[in-house]
Amino acid sequence: MCKRILYVEDNPRNMLLVQRILEAEGHELLPAVDGESGWETAVTHHPDLILMDLRLPGEISGFELTRRLKQHPDLRHIPIIALTAYGSGEAEDKARAAGCDAFLTKPADIRQIRATLRQFFAPEPAQNEVTAVHHYAFI
Ligand code: MN
């Protein structure tokens, strides 16, 4: 189940760590080092999920980029997971208000990232049940 995941992150060490996690899971990393390139990559590639550092260099913060993505009709459905050194509840409130679907804190916890990705990519149980009933009805 290969997914394409955009990670907007200016810290190369975090980028490398997440790249290793994603590759181990069989996913593809689309890297972006600031808000501007994150926006361009999202618009061009329509990733399956976005990991978002909130403190970014340049004009567009992770909060602002999240707001813009969630206002874009073709991109707003993409889950955005904040991955940030901001640890306060206030930062989480602000991130969720901007449109983040989940909030993880740095230092990055490998197991937590993996578990969160699996949660977002898990098949819908309700749909499976409906399919199973259909199959049964036509046997
Ligand atoms: Mn940063």
Ligand 1 centroid to Cα of residue 14, in Å, is 9
Whole-number Å distance, alpha carbon 132 to ligand 1 midpoint, is 45
**Cα 127 to ligand 1 centroid, rounded to whole Å:** 38
Residue-by-residue pLDDT tens, the chain, 139 positions: 799 999 999 999 999 999 999 999 999 999 999 999 999 999 999 999 999 999 999 999 999 999 999 999 999 999 999 999 988 889 999 999 999 999 999 888 899 999 999 999 987 665 555 554 444 444 4
- The alpha carbon of 138 and the centre of ligand 1 are apart by a number of angstroms equal to 54
Which residue range is the domain that position 58 belongs to? 4-137
Strand partners, 28: 4
Residue 105, exposed/middle/buried by CB under 10 A (0-12, 13-18, 19+)? middle
Q: In the chain, what is the greatest distance between 2 CA atoms, to the nearest angstrom?
A: 60
Count of domains in the chain?
Answer: 1
CATH number of the domain that residue 43 is part of = 3.40.50.2300
For residue 11, CA distances in Å to 8, 38, 66, 78, 136 come to: 9, 14, 18, 23, 52
Identify the residue whose tokens are 């913060």: 61
88: which strand partners? Answer: none
Q: Minimal CA–CA distance to 96: which of 56, 49, 63, 51?
A: 63
Which pLDDT tens digit goes with each residue over 44-78? 999 999 999 999 999 999 999 999 999 999 999 99
pLDDT value of position 66: 98
64 C-alpha to ligand 1 centroid (Å): 14
Residue 135: per-residue pLDDT: 46
DSSP label at residue 124 = P
CA of 44 to the centre of ligand 1 (A): 23
- Put simply, whether the predicted model's pTM sits higher than 0.85 gets the answer yes
CA distance 27 to 7: 12
Q: Six-digit token pair at 117? A: 């990705």
